[in-house]
Amino acid sequence: METIKKLMISILIPTYNYNVFPLAKSLEKQFIELGFPFELICIDDGSLSETNIKNEKINNLKNCKFIASKANLGLSSNRNSLVEKSKYEYLLFIDGDSVIADNNFLNKYSIFANGAFDVVYGGRVHPSIQNKNQILRWKYGVYREDKIARKREKHPYKCTLFNNTLIKKDIFNKIGFNKDITDYGHEDTLFSFQLSKLKAKVKHIDNPVLHGDIDLNSVFYKKMHKSIQNLKYIYNNNLVDPDFVTFLSIYSKIKKLKLNYPLSLTYKILKPIYNYQLTSNYASLFLFDAFRLTYFCYINLKK
């Protein structure tokens, strides 16, 4: 119990137009039961939403603060701002649409917050049943992101997503999130690459949060365009080693073989099919992967 008494942690929750109060309430309850110093800070990134009326109730919880930002700066800058406002040596990032399903959630993290590791990633899971109009994001989450610790440990840096992540504040401050990436996607890829450059000590554990707000097919499809555009920015500015990202590694091989030209043309031909199929109730991961690769080839040739 000595470790728990010494543990000082700042929970940081970035959000946008989402009711975070139930999440904050569940975390406050666990903190109080454990009895160690904590703070919880949540910042809405300029949504100016009426939902923030509900989020204001977070200020009534013990050691919890909600801030409604007037300007939309993007997820990366929002996370950086949360860190600037934090005061404790350990930071636990949790996305606002997460659900804590384990009453022992924080206690599991306290065991590892003893200086042995720089980063501890608990993972994320998706609900077992989902509506068909959310099937694309659900499939991508279940089959690409939801991995147990034993599998994540094979590629400790690549498999570190920045939701449900405990990190030492001094390590975070050596990296920070790239403020030039303002739209959705791959900000955590860039951060994880920098962790690998620092040779940070990363530990993977099975302590997942539940993804509580799964995007509609049309919303996720639109977001993925932005994500791939971010990846283009990262690639063209040499911000990561292509071998660090499987997708970029594949693209590099395709480019050497000059197959990026016909694949770019393939995107132009198949675009109507992508638009229809990937926003339908029967969205295919195979077509989704084809879309991502051909679209990346297309935007890298487009002037």
The pLDDT tens digits of the residues spanning 143-160 come to 999 999 999 999 999 888
DSSP symbol at 62 = T
Domain range for 244: 219-301
Domain C-terminal end among 167, 183, 215: 215
Whether residues 107 and 208 share a domain: the answer is yes
Q: Is the pLDDT at 179 greater than 90, yes or no?
A: no
What proportion of the chain, given as a percentage, has pLDDT over 70? 97
Q: Is the pLDDT at 251 greater than 90, yes or no?
A: yes
Domain C-terminal end among 170, 197, 215: 215
Residue 141 belongs to domain with CATH number = 3.90.550.10
Whether residues 175 and 261 share a domain: the answer is no
pLDDT in tens, 105-115: 999 998 876 77
Whether residues 209 and 225 share a domain: the answer is no
Whether residues 225 and 204 share a domain: the answer is no
Whether residues 174 and 247 share a domain: the answer is no
pLDDT at 3: 42
Whether residues 167 and 246 share a domain: the answer is no
- Contact of 198 with 93, CB cutoff 8 Å: no
Q: How confident is the model at residue 186 (pLDDT cuts 50, 70, 90)?
A: confident
Q: Is the dihedral of CA 270, 139, 245, 98 positive or negative?
A: positive
Whether residues 229 and 265 share a domain: the answer is yes
Burial class from Cβ neighbours inside 10 Å (0-12, 13-18, 19+) for residue 64 reads buried
Q: Is the pLDDT at 5 greater than 80, yes or no?
A: no
User: Hey, what are 124's tokens?
Assistant: 């994320």
Whether residues 8 and 107 share a domain: the answer is yes
Rounded to an integer, the average pLDDT of 121-140 is: 91
Measuring CA to CA, which residue among 187, 205, 209 is closest to residue 96?
Answer: 209
Whether residues 106 and 242 share a domain: the answer is no
Whether residues 72 and 153 share a domain: the answer is yes
Whether residues 43 and 68 share a domain: the answer is yes
- Contact of 44 with 19, CB cutoff 8 Å: no
pLDDT at 207: 96
Domain C-terminal end among 215, 244, 268: 215
Q: Is the pLDDT at 303 greater than 70, yes or no?
A: no
Give the number of domains in the chain.
Answer: 2
Whether residues 157 and 182 share a domain: the answer is yes
Rounded to an integer, the average pLDDT of 245-250 is: 94
51: helix, strand or coil: coil
Q: Is the dihedral of CA 188, 157, 138, 295 positive or negative?
A: positive
User: Hey, what are 130's tokens?
Assistant: 């989902």
Q: pTM score, two decimals?
A: 0.92
pLDDT in tens, 262-292: 999 999 999 999 999 999 999 999 999 999 9
Residue 3's Cβ-side half-sphere holds a number of Cα atoms within 13 Å equal to 11
- Contact of 11 with 38, CB cutoff 8 Å: yes
Tell me the CA distances in angstroms from 269 to 232, 258, 277, 300, one per residue in order. Answer: 21, 18, 14, 17
Q: How confident is the model at residue 2 (pLDDT cuts 50, 70, 90)?
A: very low
Q: How confident is the model at residue 6 (pLDDT cuts 50, 70, 90)?
A: low
